[in-house]
Amino acid sequence: MEEGVDKYGDPIPGAWVPVCTVWCAFEPLVGREFMAALQAQSEVSARVRLRYRPGITSADRVRHDGKVYGIDSVIHVKSARQELQLLVRG
């Protein structure tokens, strides 16, 4: 997460700002419906595959088709710095 700024250039603490826009493969893994606090909620786990990009951590988020996903895990495929797999939950 980086600190955002408002239209006057003043810092906005805790604001999310885009870090990059990349091509990726978004692969849903599990979909399940569950009841929580008397409300139906949907939870989807997915794998996001993209070219290696340094600095991506589980503190970041992914936005795909307008929905925001939290990153559970960052996997460096074969440690070759060619591909990343992100396990996300939203």
Q: Looking at the domain assignment, is residue 45 inside a domain?
A: yes
Reported pTM: 0.73
Q: Looking at the domain assignment, is residue 33 inside a domain?
A: yes
Q: How many domains is the chain built from?
A: 1
Q: What residue ranges in the chain does DSSP mark as E strands?
A: 4-5, 11-12, 25-36, 39-51, 61-64, 67-76, 83-89
Range of the domain at 76: 21-89
Taking only the tens place, the pLDDT of each residue in 34-88 is 555 555 556 668 899 999 999 899 989 999 998 989 998 899 988 888 999 999 9
d(CA 65, CA 86) in angstroms, rounded, equals 16
- CB neighbours (10 Å) of residue 40? 8
Taking only the tens place, the pLDDT of each residue in 22-47 is 999 999 887 665 555 555 556 668 89
Q: Looking at the domain assignment, is residue 50 inside a domain?
A: yes
Q: Looking at the domain assignment, is residue 47 inside a domain?
A: yes
Q: Looking at the domain assignment, is residue 43 inside a domain?
A: yes
